Amino acid sequence: MQHQRLSGGKLISAGYDAAQNLLEIGMADGSLKTFSNVPLEVYRRLIAAPNPASFYEDRIEEEYPVKTGRRTGDDSARSKLDDLFG
């Protein structure tokens, strides 16, 4: 699932699987929350929101079943920054 970067707050990115109505949200703490039974319109509104974190808290966080895991991916960029800045 491809993610779109989100700005501000505790949200890093969001992705949507229309075939399964799954919404994935990458969090700043490294966790990945997968919400089920989310309509496509909710994802669209999250992406378009002026403050995605507020929209998430008001319209998603307590409304849909969620599973929490860890984000996976290439940490090489992070390690390069750590090497550069300590």
Q: What CA–CA distance (Å, rounded) separates 39 from 43?
A: 7
Please report which helix (H) or strand (E) contains residue 17, including its range: strand 11-17
Does the pLDDT value for residue 77 go beyond 70? no
Q: What is the pLDDT of residues 24-54, one digit of tens each?
A: 999 999 999 999 999 999 999 999 999 999 9
Q: What CA–CA distance (Å, rounded) separates 63 from 82?
A: 37
State pTM to two decimals.
0.80
Start-to-end CA distance of the chain, whole Å, equals 32
**Which amino acid is it at 19?**
A
